[in-house]
Structure 1
Amino acid sequence: MPVLECKGLTKRFGRTTALEEVSLTIEPGRIVGLLGPNGSGKTTLIKLANGLLTPDGGYIAVCGAAPGRESHSLVSYLPERTAIPTWMSAKQLMDFYGDFYRDFRRDTAEEMLAHLNIQPRQTVKQMSKGTREKVQLIMVMSRAAKLYLLDEPIGGVDPATRDYILSTIIGNYNPEAAVVISTHLIADVEKVLDEVIFLHQSRVVLQSTVDDIREEKGMSVDELFREVFKC
């Protein structure tokens, strides 16, 4: 069964169409790059999959269920902006995630926090911007979810932090799950991707494996993206 499936998915905001007739399938065990220019519909698709928005047409399902109360236990979501309470300590964050999500693996979170030398009593407010982003990602990736939706997980952080975040994603997701990474920093994430989905003007213009792009096109994903979306 696909982890995420869309058929003819459409979403409008007033007169603006954010997604139009989007059809795609994401299977378990895949890390998928959701790529496209600003305004192409990436965040809208992620929010629909997380049940934060409702479609105006078509079909979307997570492990066969429509996004909503039933699917919330299956999806681990990293929003584009840091959304963890700044007054909480690292320990309080783990307590919160442990209370809220049955699949939260506290030992995994504790191990990653220790690797970053983050003390359990250190509050989010005391952390640097890069460390806050790492901590939020650690909480998200410490769940044994079926679908991880990561919206710009490496935006605005230094290259060393990007490497740490990508290694965290690879090393900690449930192998029976799928990971969707929305990003503009294609060259940075390409090495971890199995597949890519290109969105343009609210539609899917390409879904392909990274290996097929390299073999059939003779170029990297970043090079193909620049060619497809050149101004």
Structure 2
Amino acid sequence: MMLECKDLTKWYGGKKAVDDLTLYLEKGKIYGLLGENGSGKTTWMKMVAGLTKPSRGEILYEGEKLNYRHRAKIAYMATEPFFYSFMNIGDVGEYYEDFFEDFDGKRYAELIVKLGLSREMKVKDLSSGMGAKLKLAATLSRKAELVLLDEPLNGIDYKAREEIINLVLEEADENNTFVISTHLLEEVESFVEYGIFIRDGKLLEKVNLESERMKTGRSLADIYLDIM
């Protein structure tokens, strides 16, 4: 087992953002993290990435309690912009290289070219689609085994979504695991293997989507509506 969450709970003031959630993830899979806004998806990702601590419960990575040593194995891409506006794309690579020991500058250079970006472009001048591609290039240039992408397809045009999806599929293999939160069910229908359905911080169900489609013929949207 790559990741196990046991009775995971996170309080913010008087509200439970994640509520007694137990879940496990296997290596080599692509998971869709699905639920409405405010359902706890981002909070769960931040706890797994080590950015915020659980109020209760535990997270195990490959059988060991999650600790600072695992940060090199887990990459988290936030939904909000996280680069300074004065930077250019080259600066972003240098920033990541200083911050993450596992960052591969050569890989970053290859990815920005592949995604139609250049080192001289200013972050403040990027379209939403270009900004999304930059975030993904920086995230995937780390040598991570678990990649958490928070709404990577949100607010961008069809062409940029296709480029991002294609890059994720190229990077996914038996040695890593992707978790993608999204509201765009039709965009991920063809490649997400498991659906993790969350409401009000609670895990409703984890569904093997391929198996479910073969047995019932239901689409991801059908399954979502039935569960949620």
Give the shorter-chain TM-score range.
over 0.9
Q: What is the CA RMSD across the aligned residues, in angstroms?
A: 1.7
Does the Cα contact within 8 Å between 2:28 and 2:172 map onto a contact in 1?
no
* Structure 1: 4+ residue segments shifted above 4 A: none
TM-score w.r.t. structure 2 length?
Answer: 0.93
Q: Tell me, in whole angstroms, the C-alpha distance in 2 between the residues paired with 1:193 and 1:44.
A: 21
Q: What residue in structure 1 maps to residue 116 of structure 2?
A: 117
How many angstroms does 1:185 deviate by?
0.8
Residue type of the alignment partner of 1:40:
S
Given residue 145 of structure 2, which amino acid in structure 1 is its aligned partner?
K
> How far is the alpha carbon of 1:188 from its aligned partner?
0.6
Counterpart for residue 33 of structure 1 = 32
Q: Which amino acid aligns with 1:150?
A: L
CA distance in structure 2 between the aligned counterparts of 1:91 and 1:31, rounded to whole angstroms = 30
Q: Secondary structure at the match of 2:107?
A: helix
Distance 1:217 1:14, change over 3 A: farther
1:68 positional shift? 4.2
Tell me the amino acid that sits aligned with residue 50 of structure 1: A
Cα deviation digits, residues 65-122 of structure 1 (max 9, x gap) = 4444222211111101111122112112112222322322223222221133322122
C-alpha separation between the residues in 1 aligned to 2:209 and 2:41?
A: 19
Residue 222 of structure 1 pairs with residue 228 of structure 2: no
Structure 1 residues 181-204: Cα deviation after superposition (integer angstroms, max 9, x where no partner):
111111111212111111122211
Q: Distance in 2 between matches of 1:101 and 1:207?
A: 32
Write the letter of the residue equivalent to 1:87. F
Q: Identity of paired residues, percent?
A: 32
Q: Tell me the equivalent position of 1:198.
A: 197
Deviation at 1:208, TM superposition (A): 1.9
Q: Is the 8 A contact 1:3 1:177 kept in 2?
A: no
Alignment of 1:175-186 (within 5 A): 175-186=174-185
CA distance, structure 1, for counterparts of residue 105 and residue 172 of structure 2:
14
Q: 1:151 and 2:126 equivalent?
A: no
Distance 1:73 1:198 in 2: 27
Q: Is the 8 A contact 1:46 1:149 kept in 2?
A: yes
Residues 204, 227 of structure 2: 8 Å contact kept: no
Aligned to 1:164: 163
Instruction: Please list the CA deviations of residues 131-180 of structure 1 after superposition, one character each: whole Å capped at 9, or x if unmatched.
Output: 01111111101211011111100000011111111111111246412111
1:166 and 1:192 in contact (8 A); partners too: no
* CA shift for structure 1 position 209: 1.5
What are the within-5 Å matches in structure 2 for residues 99-114 of structure 1? Answer: 99-114=98-113
How many angstroms apart in 2 are the aligned matches of 1:29 and 1:71?
A: 17
* Larger displacement relative to structure 2 (158-167 or 217-226): 217-226
Whole-angstrom CA distance in 1 between matches of 2:145 and 2:114: 25
Aligned to 2:53: 54
The one-letter code of the counterpart of 1:8 is: D
Match of 1:89 in 2: 88
Secondary structure of the residue aligned to 1:54 is coil
Instruction: Give the SS at the match of 1:225.
Output: helix
